[in-house]
Structure formats: structure tokens, C-alpha cells
Structure 1
Amino acid sequence: MMVTLHWSDVVLRLVATLAAGIAFGLNRDEHGRPAGLRTTTLVCLAACLSMLQVNWLLDTTGKKSGSFVTLDLMRLPLGVLSGMGFIGGGAILRRENMVLGVTTAATLWIVTIIGLCFGGGQIILGVTGTVLGLGVLWGLNFVERKLREDHRAALIVIADTKNPVIQELISRCAEVSIQIAGQSVVYSEQGKIIELHFDLRWRGHRHNFWPPVFLSELASRPGVMTLQWKPSGFTGM
């Protein structure tokens, strides 16, 4: 970080910051995620401006060029990072068993760091962070779509006890490699109605939590009152 700041340095840092913020924002908007173009650009720009202000204060009148450390100016970018921790935490949502917004929070965090790098004059470091960050968001997103991982879901079935749909459901799950890891049963209406809760497990592609096709067929059978599919353990972007 230079003690004397020239306007050419300021323009270079601001342009690099805007380019990085816009690039990350376009990635978020492309996938329809929160913290899009304007949000990431503003966060990155705010971080850059805070470091520019610090840089300007380094050459404070009455201080020797080597004594600016005593001003403890680094409290300003540290405060920015602390504030981003709160914003990132607010971007993460939990809906029942699903967690959403983790990647959004991480994106806000990295654009803040990149803005601090550009604002502090570490252009090469900021460009490197931008390239690597975008590579993670675009490149690894493609890799994640190809990966197969363990999934879990809860299936609730309410039906007439005389209906054979329960046995058919168990056999159809086995056919598509869905494992029934646990189940519970509740009888009502003097044993005429049965309510079953299944804990299902299977391996599939990431973010693929749609129910099997045969469930819609079974739900239309006579005597089936309710068939509810609830995926769990999903960590979203």
C-alpha cells in the first residue's frame, strides 16, 4: 500500500473493483440467486472505498511516513469484514430441514475481500482472487451437477387399511433403489385409516429432490387420502 495516493491509482482500483463485483453479480443473476448484480457490486465497491480511505489517511499531516501504524487505521477494514459477517448471516435461511443462501453469503464474503484488496492497491492479488472465485462459482457448479450424493426424504401416506397401495409402494421404492431406513404407523377411525411415515434414503444427483414418478400414480389410487413428499438435508445456493 502506497503512502501517497495518486488519482490514477484510485481510478485503476475502482475500475478493477467494479469489474470484479459485476462479474460475480452476473453469475448470481444468471442462476436466479439473491445478491445479484447490484448487491455484489455495491459490496465490493464499499470495501474498496474503505481501503482507499485508509490509504489516504496514511499520509496524515504531522506524522512521519513510517509512523502511520500507530493510527491503527486497519480497524476500518476489519469493521467492514465484521459487518459483512452479519449481512452474510442474514442471507442464510433455514426452512424446516433445508438450508438456503450459503453460497450467497460466501459470495458476499469473497467480493468484500476482493474489494479490500483492490482498495489497498493489491491489484494482482485482487485479480487472482476474482479469477479463482469465478472459477469456483462457474466451474464447480458444473462439477456439482455431475456428482451423486446421499439424499433423504420423508414420505407420509394416509390411506384406507384395506388398500394394497402400501405394499406396492414398498416394492416400487426397492425397484428404483430407494431405501426405507425407518417407518412409523398410526391407526385411526377404529383401525380403518392408516397413516405411515417413511424415512427414505437414496443416491442421486445434487439438488435433485423431485419425488419418483410412481408416487403421483399411487396418489391417484382410490382409498389414498394423502401422499406427502418432504425432502430433507438440502443445502441450497
Structure 2
Amino acid sequence: MPSTMIEFMPLSPTWVDIVVRLVLVIAAGALIGVNREVGRHAAGFRTTILVGLAACLTMIQANLLLSTMGKTPQSFVSMDILRFPLGVLTGVGFIGGGAILKRGDLVTGVTTAATLWIMTAIGLCIGGGQLVVGSTGAIAAFIVLSPFKWFDELIPHQQKARMEVELLGVAEIAKVQAMFEPRGYAFLFIAKAAGEAGASMNVIYQVRWKHSGADGGALELLTAVEERCKVLSFEMVTTAT
């Protein structure tokens, strides 16, 4: 590859170089952060910018210290200074781990953690002087988080819900299961209890199906069940996000 295509980290960056890097990483963080803020995610506009700034400042500090090591650009790999970005990536790993929440089968925050990770990598690139690489990474991340989300919603996902309905007798339990099986819904009987009416009973099902879209087909399922029996409660366990 020609040397003109490679961006080197200068040994003595000027204040102009530093300001350009900081402004660029703020712009990259804002681009990605707006997408997360619109979706009301845990790591929003300011958090994304701060993570990128932290990574960028770390690499700028490493860059400034390079000139004190008496090394040439060809010997960068032997410098302990380059452990700075490794420490930053480790720290962001803890932050990302805190953003991931698990409640039963429902896991949220994975994309948020990945966003913080890629923003850290972008900040390290820009802070190290690889402006084109960092900017390209920011644009690619924005494309994945925004336009690609539309494609993700078109992919059928495994959905799961917990539903409590009122039935007239024990025989109705199997009838409900058989009624919705041809439509792609798997009703798994969990428990039953006596209903308020004398002969009625409250039955709890776990329902599984595949569906694409933001709501996972929950409204469609709920409407179909309400046409045949009384629904007492309905809770999505997994979603298509």
C-alpha cells in the first residue's frame, strides 16, 4: 500500500491537530448519539459524546508522550504507552456490561453496549490522528444503527408472551391450544386457578410465535384471542428489538 494512503500518528501534534481531533470526535459522537437519544436508550446523546472524548483524549495523551520516549515511528509497537487504549477498552467493557440488563428471557442494552464499544474505537482512531479511519467508522456505525434497523425489523424474530385468560372448563384449555396452532402460535399451559364466576377458571399460557416488526405481532395475537375468550392479562416476555 502506498505510504500516502497510510495515516501516521505525528510525534509532535500541534494545538490545531488536537482541536481538529476533538471537534471531529464530538461530531462523530453527536451523529451516533442522536440516533440513540431518539430511541430513548440508556446511552444517549451526551453519553456517546463523552465516551468518544474519553477515548480521544487518551490517545492524544499517548501521542504527546510518544516524543518523550526517544523512539521512532517504526518502533511504536514496543512502547508501553500504547497500553492506554487497551485500558480504555477494558473500562468501556465494564460500562457496557452495566448497560446490559436481563429479566427472565428478556435481554436489553446489548446494542447500547456495542454502541459504546464502537464509539470508543472511533475515539481512539481520531485521537491517534487516523481521522479518515475514525470518520469512516462513525459513518458506518450510524448506517448500522439507523438504516439497518429497518432491515432488522423485517426479519422474523422468536417472540414469547405470558397470557392469562378466563375459560369455562378444563376442556377449553386444549381447545385454545389447538385453535391457534395452525396460525403459528404455540400455547403452552402453565397454571390454572378458580375464576370469579362459579364454573369459570383462570388459565395462564406461555405463547411462542415468530413475527417481524416493532411490536412483534403482540396486538395481532391479543386481538385474535379476545375474539374467542376473555383476556385477563397479557405481557410480552421477548420483543423484536
Which residue of 1 is the match for residue 203 of structure 2?
Answer: 196
Once the two structures are superposed, residues 187-226 of structure 1 have per-residue CA deviations (whole angstroms, 9 ceiling, x without a partner) of: 669x96645343322221144242421444566x5xxxx7
Alignment gaps of 5+ in structure 1: none
Which residue of 2 is the match for residue 208 of structure 1?
Answer: 215
Following the alignment from structure 2 to structure 1, what is the Cα–Cα distance between the partners of residues 147 and 76? 42
2:10 aligned counterpart, secondary structure:
coil
Length, aligned pairs only: 227
TM-score, structure 2 length as denominator?
0.80
Contact preservation (8 Å) 2:212, 2:240: no
Which residue of 2 is the match for residue 134 of structure 1?
Answer: 142
Cα RMSD over matched residues? Answer: 2.9
Contact preservation (8 Å) 1:97, 1:234: no
Which residue of 1 is the match for residue 41 of structure 2?
Answer: 33
1:73 aligned counterpart, secondary structure:
helix
Which residue of 1 is the match for residue 232 of structure 2?
Answer: 227
Higher RCO (CA 8 Å, separation ≥ 6 residues):
1
- 1:179 partner amino acid: Y
Go from structure 1 to structure 2 and tell me whether the alpha carbon gap of 1:54 and 1:173 turns closer, same or farther (over 3 Å shift): same
Once the two structures are superposed, residues 71-97 of structure 1 have per-residue CA deviations (whole angstroms, 9 ceiling, x without a partner) of: 410111110000000000000111222
Following the alignment from structure 1 to structure 2, what is the Cα–Cα distance between the partners of residues 64 and 155? 67
1:111 aligned counterpart, secondary structure:
helix
TM-score, structure 1 length as denominator?
0.82
Contact preservation (8 Å) 1:172, 1:214: no
Which residue of 1 is the match for residue 5 of structure 2?
Answer: none
Which residue of 2 is the match for residue 76 of structure 1?
Answer: 84
Which residue of 2 is the match for residue 50 of structure 1?
Answer: 58
The correspondence for 1:85, drawn from 83, 90, 93, is 93
Which residue of 2 is the match for residue 173 of structure 1?
Answer: 180
- 1:231 partner amino acid: M
Q: What are the equivalent positions in structure 2 for 1:114-153 lying under 5 Å apart?
A: 114-153=122-161
- 1:227 partner amino acid: L
Alignment gaps of 5+ in structure 2: 1-8
